[in-house]
Amino acid sequence: MMEVPVATSFKPVPDGDIHDYDGIINYFNFAPVRQQLLPKYKSITFVTTGIIPYDGGQTTMLHLGTELSKRGFDVYYLSYLPQSRKEMEIDAEFNYSGYQGTCLDVSHLASHQSDIWLGTLWESVYVFKDKPGYKAYFVQDYEPYFYPYGDRFYLSFKTYELGLHMISLGPWCAQMIREHCRITSPLDVIHFPVDVANYPYSPRNFMAYKNKKEINLAVYTKVDSPRRAPISIQIILNNCIELFRDQGYTLNITYFGSDKSESFINGRNVGRLTKKQLKELYLASDFGIAPSMTNFSLVTYEMMSVGLPVIDFYEGTGLSFMPKNCALFCHLDENSLSRTVHQAMNHPEIIQNTVNHARRHLKSIPWKQTVDDFVAVINKIESKHSSLANKEYLVPAKHSDPDNKEHLAPAEP
């Protein structure tokens, strides 16, 4: 007789549920976009998943939108998911105090018009790709890596091949798109910026590290974000506790960035922090860690800005965003990490040099440069208006052109 299987509380690896997209499913198609060229662009709309508090990517979006608003553009943040306008405004103000631009809830999705549309998450691209206007893509990560190799991987991957004008925050995303995708549209890179105003530098006596017997680590990770290596970093630090103990050190670990209800196998989890709480944590810590397995984390720059020595990993993307001498680089394993920290503690001049280089690097990537880069992209788009006879053109999909010889084709009448 066949036995009755035992029900489990866990699920196999999820493949995704199409009903997750019930609200926007009718927008999905793979037709190449038609770009509408204008002599001058005035309105810019970020199409977004509502406004999510504590979200670094959306904070960057709000900062960029604010700076564009200050330069005379009409800026909008349009949600394609149900969130009231009031809630959007509250969360936007929390993420970036004093933000500028207009929040629009999902009720405006069908009627809103814009000169330039900007995608944020991959889903948003499908939502606006067939609307009138110029379609661009503010790429803050290589989003196929958010998923197992399967349908969501493919749906996100495909957005880079639909013909949108892509604007990559930093060089790493652009490199990944060029290496893996067959693109037919412009791909520009703007500087990955830092806002040092909220995290002022505080000098430290690194020579005192030589006599420390307790090491305080501030570790940023998110248990729902594999690109922040939440499993690996806990395993490695769990093993490091024993290694440091053998060397005569006590390792105190403070995790932040995840919900406070999450249980970590070591250290303490203080949850998601306000800017004030972040500064207090950085000042109370000896080293900071913020793993970035895909695009870089703003948290690393925050730590550097206050003068906290940063530990980063060769397996991540840090070296695409800063010179090697700006952080204590090691491999993502306990032996490499413990050796690197132990050497730095015994030779504190190494730490001082790292912090000095980090401060110089931060001064070279101000927000003004990023906004200048972005406006230069818009100016380049405007210059196309006079060079094309048709003011609307089709970016062809790439199917049978392995030598990448296709060019922009005029739209059919």
State pLDDT tens for residues 68-107.
999 999 999 999 998 999 999 999 999 999 999 999 999 9
Taking residue 265's Cβ as centre, other Cβ atoms within 10 Å add up to: 9
What number is the average pLDDT over the span 129-151?
94
Contact status, residue 95 vs residue 58, Cβ threshold 8 Å: yes
What is the reported pLDDT for 394? 63
Average of per-residue pLDDT values in the chain: 89
Q: What is the strand order of the sheet 187-190 is part of?
A: 102-104, 74-79, 43-48, 116-119, 134-139, 165-169, 187-190
User: pLDDT value at position 195?
Assistant: 83
351 three-state secondary structure:
helix
pLDDT digits (tens, 9 = 90+) for 330-359: 999 999 999 999 999 999 999 999 999 999
* For range 269-284, the mean pLDDT: 94
- In this structure, the dihedral spanned by the alpha carbons of residues 210, 215, 218 and 223, taken in order and rounded to 10 degrees, is 140
Asked if residue 136 lies in contact with residue 173, where contact means CB atoms within 8 angstroms, the answer is: no
**Residue 99 or 224, more confident:** 99
What is the pLDDT at residue 403? Answer: 40
Strands 134-139 and 214-220: unpaired
Amino acid at 273: L
Overall average pLDDT of the 157-173 stretch: 96
CA–CA separation, 220 and 264 (whole Å): 12
